[in-house]
Amino acid sequence: MLSDAAVPGSQPASGEGRPPAHLARVYRRLLEVYGEPVWRPSGEPLGELVGTILSQHTSDTNSERAYRQLRAAFPSWEELLAVPSEQVAAVIRCGGLANVKARRIQEVLAELARQQAAQAQAQPSPPATETGTLEAFLSAELQRRQPLEAWEYLQKLPGVGPKTAACVLLFALGWPVMPVDTHVHRVARRLGLLGPQVSAEQAHLLLAQMTPPAWVYPLHVNLIRHGRRVCLAQRPRCPGCPLLNECRYAGGLVAEEETEPAQAAADPSSAEDH
């Protein structure tokens, strides 16, 4: 069992709580180029979980549209659970993989409903503050757990992996958990923050060890911005990269000379900012 010292939401493990110097330089440079994103936790972990499922393998625009249509058609998660999956799929068709995502969402809701019913049977007199909704149930289940336990709990839900679980804790509850998507993983490895053989799943824990809690959200967002605009998967724009002097990957590709940093102003309306 991993300890809380090596999981999302914990203090960094090195330097008595201080981040590595390399990470600190990367963090500051990203802030200079992209700015500091505003952290606005939604307070709705189940909504964030469903939204993250909808965001898989599609664009931000399409996933956001699918989520809006889903909430308009089914104002409560209980209503969504009660209808055939084909009806849900029809509503979220614009988000792609509608049949798969509809089943996955309903499987998550069904599992939460099962847990809620089992808990109610064991404790027939719930606290007066309990609203009884699936959203409130999931929120309470997460809030009573430590970060590692909450992260692992979410991954036991149908179809929920480490990145989705991390997104829920960071974007819904404001917990300093580092979701590692393809951009974060690629940029962190190229910069040398992670070893070349470190998987995305392993990266969640390793980045959590080295990143101070207050840095997690800005670093996450700005690594994504950098990965989308400069450090592309194919043909990265190394000659104009503002992190060129910190990058191990570019060391073998780009001449050691002064270059103009790429100016990529942050778009505050972008979905990556949450």
Q: What angle do CA 243, 273, 180 make, to 5 degrees?
A: 65
Q: What pLDDT is attached to residue 22?
A: 94
Report d(CA 145, CA 28) in Å as an integer: 32
Report d(CA 250, CA 271) in Å as an integer: 28
Report d(CA 132, CA 239) in Å as an integer: 56
Cβ neighbour number for residue 203 with a 10 Å cutoff: 21
Q: What pLDDT is attached to residue 139?
A: 97
Cβ neighbour number for residue 271 with a 10 Å cutoff: 13
Tell which of 117, 142, 173 closes a domain: 173
Spatial CB neighbours of 23, under 8 Å, sequence gap ≥ 6: 193, 210, 211
Domain CATH code at residue 219: 1.10.1670.10
Assess contact for 67 and 88: CB atoms under 8 A: no
Give the count of alpha carbons within 13 A of 148, CB side only: 12
Statement to judge: residues 14 and 122 lie in one domain? no
Q: What pLDDT is attached to residue 124?
A: 64
Statement to judge: residues 12 and 106 lie in one domain? no
Helix (H, G, I), strand (E, B) or coil at 156: coil
pLDDT in tens, the chain (274 residues): 333 443 443 333 333 356 799 999 999 999 999 999 988 899 999 999 999 999 999 999 999 999 999 999 999 999 999 999 999 999 999 999 999 999 999 999 999 999 999 998 887 665 544 458 999 999 999 999 998 899 999 999 999 999 999 999 999 999 989 999 999 999 999 999 999 899 999 999 899 889 999 999 999 999 999 999 999 999 999 999 999 999 999 876 544 333 334 444 433 333 444 4
Assess contact for 164 and 51: CB atoms under 8 A: no
Assess contact for 32 and 242: CB atoms under 8 A: yes
Tell which of 173, 189, 220 closes a domain: 173
φ, ψ of residue 211 to 5 degrees: the values are -105, 125
Q: Which domain holds residue 228?
A: 4-39+177-273
Cα 87 versus chain centre, distance: 28
Statement to judge: residues 79 and 161 lie in one domain? yes
Q: What pLDDT is attached to residue 125?
A: 63
Statement to judge: residues 210 and 183 lie in one domain? yes
φ, ψ of residue 165 to 5 degrees: the values are -60, -40
φ, ψ of residue 191 to 5 degrees: the values are -75, -15
In this structure, which amino acid lies at residue 115? Answer: Q
Instruction: Tell me whether residue 102 is exposed, middle or buried, using C-beta atoms within 10 angstroms of its C-beta: 0 to 12, 13 to 18, 19 or more.
Output: buried
Statement to judge: residues 58 and 24 lie in one domain? no
Instruction: Tell me whether residue 147 is exposed, middle or buried, using C-beta atoms within 10 angstroms of its C-beta: 0 to 12, 13 to 18, 19 or more.
Output: buried
Assess contact for 171 and 187: CB atoms under 8 A: no
Q: How many domains does the chain divide into?
A: 2
Assess contact for 111 and 86: CB atoms under 8 A: no
Statement to judge: residues 200 and 188 lie in one domain? yes
φ, ψ of residue 234 to 5 degrees: the values are -110, 135
Statement to judge: residues 32 and 59 lie in one domain? no
- pTM of the model as a whole: 0.81
Statement to judge: residues 224 and 111 lie in one domain? no
Statement to judge: residues 166 and 49 lie in one domain? yes
Statement to judge: residues 78 and 132 lie in one domain? yes
Statement to judge: residues 80 and 10 lie in one domain? no
Assess contact for 30 and 18: CB atoms under 8 A: no
Domain CATH code at residue 129: 1.10.340.30
Statement to judge: residues 211 and 188 lie in one domain? yes
Report d(CA 75, CA 78) in Å as an integer: 9
Tell which of 121, 141, 173 closes a domain: 173
- What count of residues does the chain have? 274
